[in-house]
Amino acid sequence: EIFKITVLGQDIVFVGNIALCDELCDEKRFRKYVGGPIVEIRKAVHASLFTAFSDEPVWGVHHRILAPNLTPTAAAEHFNEIRDIAAELTTKWRGLGSDSTLSAIGELNRLDLETTTLCFFGRRLHGLTGREPPMIRAMDQATGEAMKRPTRPKLVNWLLHQSRFERDCKTMREYAAECLQYRKDNPTDRKDLLYAMMNAKDPETGKAMDETQIIDEMVSMPIGSSTAPCVIASAIYYLLQNADCIAKAREEIDSVIGESDFTYDHLDKLPYCAGVVRETLRLSAAAPGFNIEPVPGTQGPVLLAGGKYQVPAKQTMIIVLHGVNRDPAVFEEPEAFKPERMVGEAFEKLPDGAKKWFGNGKRVCIGRHYAWMWNVITLVTLLKDVDFEMADQGYKLKQDGWFNLRPVGFHIKVKTRGN
């Protein structure tokens, strides 16, 4: 449930059960720790919402400008765009033929970036087909490098890895700058996230975001949303391993939506599909965890679990969701895929520490409402439109990733549903 390792002389404590997760999420005692890989990715995004230190005033300015545009109500305004682009993907798949083999994560990465860029920045990349948008590879390589850099001597980073890291950061910022220039060249009355960044002022300080800060957040948003395709790719895998679950999900979809158009009003009537997404979030840990430290001024040692454990007052701790989400004290058969435990009263009874897929408290993922809706819409659209099978029937789930965890080597074949 808790262990320590030492990397380059620095102790790091890992926490892996729900009771300790709940305790560490008490914001009166602990806060988000910004260090290691998060500091490294500041090369690309500077003091963005994701990477700002707790004492940087810019975090509050950006949060107050952006948060009103990422509420559940604001996210709902993008339902049709998310649904329609997901349908474009299934139309593409159905035109390929049933013998075509697709990378699940590769296809869904394209969908995620296409949707995020349209919903937040008002631009179509047309990246569902053709050459993969360079932003996708740059995000993967830059976040991977950011994870590795704290584990190497600085000289090694500079001599062997700096140039590629800088090149990938430059590619990401070019993506954002192009989207910003597109908006300038194509004025619109669209009141999206980019509009807020370009025009709104912080109601508390009166400050606006400058162009560099806008680009910072425009790079951060796709990095944050990159966990969503990991969730849906994993969901496809778990459903294919559990035929009864895919049958229940489709029965619900057919009963609620049938032959009619999929609308926003349908979402609340699809609890089992929502349970599939939650259970996938639990098992896949698409966002692998988050870092915690005692609040400033804490006197050590810090006592955890009623004094069972002691950690220093300035100790970094990492909540490992792969372990937390499999806590046998809360989840019976923790390795089993059971969406029904994530539906209705069963879900409501779970402790808060079992629901930390998007982080915690003040620094919780600001785009969580959008991400949740993207996941459910995408899952429902895929299940409604196409049938899946694994290209390799013997495939067993393998994951890797950096700021996200995704299925590795997972390929699928698709065809029009029912054919």
Asked if residue 35 has pLDDT above 70, the reply is yes
Q: What is the predicted pLDDT for the residue at 1?
A: 87
Q: What is the predicted pLDDT for the residue at 410?
A: 96
Percent of the chain with pLDDT over 90: 92
> Which tokens hold the place of 218?
């425009």
Q: What is the predicted pLDDT for the residue at 293?
A: 95
Asked if residue 214 has pLDDT above 80, the reply is yes
Backbone angles phi, psi at 244, to 5 degrees: -65, -35
- CA separation for the pair 251, 245 (Å, rounded): 10
Q: What is the predicted pLDDT for the residue at 12?
A: 86
- ∠ CA(119), CA(413), CA(418), 5° rounding? 90
Q: Which amino acid is at 367?
A: G
HSE-CB of 363 using CA atoms within 13 angstroms: 22
Q: What is the predicted pLDDT for the residue at 300?
A: 81
Closest CA to 289 of 373, 371, 376, 401: 401
The pLDDT of 79-97, averaged and rounded, is 96
Q: What is the predicted pLDDT for the residue at 6?
A: 85
- CA separation for the pair 329, 176 (Å, rounded): 45
pLDDT digits (tens, 9 = 90+) for 113-136: 999 999 999 999 999 999 999 999
What Cα–Cα distance (Å) separates residue 74 from each residue in 18, 94, 119, 368, 394?
31, 32, 11, 12, 42
What Cα–Cα distance (Å) separates residue 156 from each residue in 98, 139, 145, 149?
47, 22, 12, 9
pLDDT digits (tens, 9 = 90+) for 49-70: 999 999 999 999 999 999 999 9
In which band, very low, low, confident or very high, does the pLDDT at 400 lie, cut at 50, 70 and 90? confident
The pLDDT of 135-159, averaged and rounded, is 95
In which band, very low, low, confident or very high, does the pLDDT at 402 lie, cut at 50, 70 and 90? confident
Q: What is the predicted pLDDT for the residue at 136?
A: 97
DSSP assignment string, 97-161: -TT--EEHHHHHHHHHHHHHHHHHH------SSSSPPHHHHHHHHHHHHHHHGGGS-HHHIIIII
Beta bridge partners of 406: 400
pLDDT digits (tens, 9 = 90+) for 281-303: 999 987 888 999 999 999 989 99
Residue 67: count other Cβ atoms within 10 Å of its Cβ. 13
Helix (H, G, I), strand (E, B) or coil at 414: strand
- CA separation for the pair 364, 160 (Å, rounded): 35
Q: Are residues 385 and 72 in contact, defined by beta-carbon separation less than 8 angstroms?
A: no
pLDDT digits (tens, 9 = 90+) for 226-265: 999 999 999 999 999 999 999 999 999 999 999 999 999 9
Closest CA to 193 of 29, 74, 101: 74
DSSP assignment string, 236-286: HHHHHH-HHHHHHHHHHHHHHTTTSPP-GGGGGG-HHHHHHHHHHHHHH-S
The pLDDT of 142-149, averaged and rounded, is 94
Asked if residue 419 has pLDDT above 60, the reply is no
